[in-house]
Structure 1
Amino acid sequence: MNAPQPLRQQPDRPRMCFVVGPIGDPYAAHGTSEHESYEHHLGIFEQVIAPACEKYEITAVRADGIAHAGDINEQICRHVIESDLVIADVSGGNPNVMYELGLRHITGKPTIHIGEAGQLPFDIASIRTIRYQPSRSHLAGARREIESALEVGIRDGFELLTPARVVRALQTVDGPSSLEQSGSEEETMDEDLPGLLDDFAAIEDGLDEMTSHLGAITKAIETIGTLTEQGNVEILDLAQANAPASARLAAVVRYAESLSMPAEEMIAVSAAFAERMVTLDSGVRAALSLIEVTSPDERGEGTREFLEQLIALEESAQEGLAQVGFLGASARGLIRVSRHLRTPVKDISAAVKRMTSAIACMGEWAAKARDLLDTPE
Structure 2
Amino acid sequence: MNATPALRQEPDRPRTCFVIGPIGDSYAVHGSPEHEAYEHHLGIFEQVIVPACERYGITAVRADRIAHAGDINDQICRHVIESDLVIADVSGGNPNVMYELGLRHITGKATVHIGEAGQLPFDIASIRTIRYQRARSHLAGARKEIEIALEAGLRDGFELLTPARVLRGLQTVDGPSTSDESGNAEDEDAPGLLDDFAAIDDGLDEMTADMEAITQTIETIGALTEKSNTEMLDLTQANAPMSARLAAVARYAQSISAPAGELNTVAGAFAERMVSLDSGVRAALGIIEVTPPDERGEGAEEFLQQLMALEETAQEGLEHLRFFGTSASGMGRMSRHLRKPVKDISDAVHRMTTAITCMGEWAGKARALARGATE
Distance 1:295 1:183, change over 3 A: farther
1:200 — aligned with what? 197
For 1:258, the aligned partner's letter is S
Equivalent of residue 355 in structure 1, options 327, 352, 356: 352
Shift of 1:228: 0.6
Structure 1: tracts of 5 or more residues without a match: 19-50, 83-102, 114-140, 172-178
Distance 1:167 1:67, change over 3 A: closer
After superposition, give the CA deviation of every residue in 1:54-92 in whole Å (9 maximum; x if it has no partner).
Answer: 8616897776xx236x7xxx577436236xxxxxxxxxx
Is the counterpart of residue 324 in structure 1 residue 321 in structure 2?
yes
Equivalent of residue 52 in structure 2, options 49, 56, 77: 56
Is the counterpart of residue 251 in structure 1 residue 248 in structure 2?
yes
Bigger RCO (CA 8 Å, 6+ sep): 1
1:269 — aligned with what? 266
Shift of 1:337: 1.2
Distance 1:109 1:209, change over 3 A: same
Aligned residues: 269
**Percent of aligned pairs with the same residue?**
51
After superposition, give the CA deviation of every residue in 1:9-39 in whole Å (9 maximum; x if it has no partner).
Answer: 8511344589xxxxxxxxxxxxxxxxxxxxx
Equivalent of residue 81 in structure 1, options 102, 116, 128: 102
Alignment of 1:122-137 (within 5 A): none
Distance 1:298 1:167, change over 3 A: farther
Shift of 1:301: 2.5
Shift of 1:365: 1.0
After superposition, give the CA deviation of every residue in 1:300-332 in whole Å (9 maximum; x if it has no partner).
Answer: 331111111111111211221221121111111
**Native 8 Å contact 2:232 2:248 kept in 1:** yes
Alignment of 1:183-262 (within 5 A): 196-262=193-259
Q: RMSD in angstroms over aligned alpha carbons?
A: 4.3
SS in 2 for 1:243: coil
2:110 — aligned with what? 110
Distance 1:161 1:242, change over 3 A: closer
For 1:78, the aligned partner's letter is Y
**Native 8 Å contact 1:221 1:323 kept in 2:** yes
Is the counterpart of residue 148 in structure 1 residue 169 in structure 2?
no
For 1:110, the aligned partner's letter is A
**Native 8 Å contact 1:197 1:300 kept in 2:** no
TM-score by length of 2: 0.60
**Native 8 Å contact 2:235 2:245 kept in 1:** yes
**Native 8 Å contact 1:314 1:362 kept in 2:** yes
Equivalent of residue 342 in structure 1, options 339, 344, 351: 339
For 2:315, the aligned partner's letter is Q
Shift of 1:169: 6.7
After superposition, give the CA deviation of every residue in 1:196-226 in whole Å (9 maximum; x if it has no partner).
Answer: 4443111100000000000010011101111
TM-score by length of 1: 0.59
For 1:373, the aligned partner's letter is A
Is the counterpart of residue 166 in structure 1 residue 170 in structure 2?
no
**Native 8 Å contact 2:168 2:193 kept in 1:** no
**Native 8 Å contact 1:220 1:266 kept in 2:** yes
SS in 1 for 2:17: coil
Equivalent of residue 16 in structure 2, options 8, 12, 17: 12
CA–CA separation in structure 2 for the residues paired with 1:52 and 1:150: 18
CA–CA separation in structure 1 for the residues paired with 2:356 and 2:301: 21
Is the counterpart of residue 305 in structure 1 residue 302 in structure 2?
yes
Distance 1:11 1:170, change over 3 A: farther
Distance 1:62 1:222, change over 3 A: farther
CA–CA separation in structure 2 for the residues paired with 1:224 and 1:305: 34
SS in 2 for 1:56: helix
